[in-house]
Amino acid sequence: MIETYKFLKENTKVNFVSTINRDKPSCRPFGDPILFDNKIYVITNKQKNVSKQIAENNNVCIVAYDNENWIRINCQLIDDSDNVEAKKAVIDEFDWAIEAGYTLDNPDFQVLYIANANSTIYNEDGEIIANYKF
């Protein structure tokens, strides 16, 4: 799990999260994650389509590229928005969070953690460098 987190946090600036929108795939960029309580968390707003799609089907695929290697994470995103400590950790991590509306009193501030993950790192030739399950 730590290797996956480091790849997403240290090696890349943007991670792409793919969801299912009814019967079609949908993909969008996400910012870097945080590590809290031994889990990798991502954030979004509950009013966004991505949040609604995850509520319908929380199986997602996260992909990122660091100009040399790339990662694919097939996982579930688990809504942990009732976890005030996780939200505080996000606010502490990102100096822009409060200005962007990610405040403890905002009911649309959503935190989700990665679970049941199969994380694979590949080189540019498509060869597997590492595989992690967590």
Average pLDDT of the chain is 97
Just give the CATH number of 2-133: 2.30.110.10
pLDDT digits (tens, 9 = 90+) for 3-53: 999 999 999 989 999 999 999 999 999 999 999 999 999 999 999 999 999
- Residue 10: which region, alpha, beta or left (left: phi > 0; alpha: psi -120 to 50)? alpha
Looking up tokens 């199969």, which residue turns up? 118
Stretch 47-76: mean pLDDT: 98
Q: What pLDDT is attached to residue 13?
A: 86
91, β-bridge pairs: none
Residues sharing a CB contact under 8 Å with residue 59, sequence separation 6 or more, in sequence order: 20, 74, 75, 76
Stretch 112-123: mean pLDDT: 98
Please give the DSSP secondary-structure letter assigned to residue 126.
S
